[in-house]
Amino acid sequence: MTEALANSPGTEPAAPLHLAVALDGAGWHPAAWREPDARPADLFGAAYWADLVREAEHGLLDFATLEDSLGFQSDHPQHADDRTDRVRGRLDAVLIAARIGPLTDRIGLVPTIVTTLTEPFHLAKAIATLDYTSTGRAGVRAQVSLRPADLALFGRREAPDVDFLTGPPERLRAVLEDAFDETADYIEVLRRLWDSWEDDAEIRDAATGRFVDRDKLHYIDFEGRWFDVKGPSITPRPPQGQPLVTALVHQETGHRLLARSADVGFVTPHSTGEARTIVAGIRAAQEAAGTAARPLHVFGDLVVFLDATEAAARDRRDRLDAAAGAPYTSDAEIFAGTAAQLADLLLERRTAGLSGFRLRPAALPHDLLGITRALVPELQRRGAFRTAYEAGTLRGHLGLERPANRYAHL
């Protein structure tokens, strides 16, 4: 039905889908590391991550996100656990991305950072550096963490006095709004620091002995509740001007963060109707924030089990569930089926206003290969996905212009 509508006379052809992949450990299913083709011994080596991202680039995906945290992974949403049958431990996502940058050519690299426990000045410098090492393909996924176990590792702030599973809704909403407001300020500091060097601030004139035009470096003078940052950055303006800023949100309280701060928002609808409601909520938040004219992509997240038949995909999920000792659950919808079935689902969900999807492979490399070697060709046959990269930067892949420097007119 979607294809017929897209090709009917007098109807504008739908824009091609955007696709990203979310890479985490051996895959998003907790038992994925026990699969025959898994590489658990390589999880803490650069080659493993380089192989995965190069495969994603082979599939012409817009970008890959790299999961990260500042505490151990846990089956419990708020507390650490003592399980030893799960992947535990991580490499730093920003450093992985920096290593992969020179080993890839076109795909965007979007590491996760925890805004709650890091400093925006350091992160602005790190992501600007990534944009240089990847020649304009850097982004960042901003993540809030209020888990008591994570906060205790730093000892710099107290955990909110509320249980996120059973606490009063009014208190939960207030805590989340506070956390998202802090993250919005964090991102504003990032953006100002990226702009604190004008594009032509570096003169590099050996004859006159002038390397930098100091008048084109700017104090950002940010003063807020959480941050007081004078600037400027010590890293010149990144190649993209502004690397891509993304965030995952689950509730209405996160819509304001996306409206104020993000270039791409990840959401987790479980139906087309729910996707339509979420997109409408985000667009309403943009109107309220005065940012309706600013492009904001909304991507739907899905966990995927991909096989040649639906029965094979479901059987594999059941086998992994048995190995894990419990059925796998997720904040995102879990899909188990064929590439053609997934293509049908994505094209249907696109009608709700989603411009792309971030797919979470249940097991690596199996489901990543299902995306790049089966789903992508299926979408290409339907005219719904690119057949070659057309841009050299991550912003270019998403049709986002290189923004003007806010300080250049001063």
- Specify binding-site residues: 68, 112
CA distance 292 to 239: 26
CB neighbour burial string for 294-304, b if at least 16 within 10 angstroms, e if fewer: eebbbbbbbbb
How are beta strands 228-229 and 222-223 bridged, if at all?
A: antiparallel
Residues 6+ apart with CB under 8 A from 302: 332, 333, 334, 335, 345, 357, 358, 359, 360
Tell me the one-letter amino acid at 45. Answer: G
How are beta strands 297-306 and 264-267 bridged, if at all?
A: parallel
Strand partners, 138: 109
Backbone angles phi, psi at 301, to 5 degrees: -90, 140
CA distance 61 to 146: 32
How are beta strands 264-267 and 18-23 bridged, if at all?
A: unpaired
Spatial CA neighbour of 24 closest among 141, 174, 121:
141
Count of CB atoms situated within 10 Å of the CB of 55:
20
How are beta strands 333-337 and 210-212 bridged, if at all?
A: unpaired
Cα 192 to chain centroid, rounded: 21
Report the binding-site residues for FMN: 68, 112
E-state strands within 49-200: 63-66, 108-114, 139-143
407, 198 Cβ separation under 8 angstroms: yes
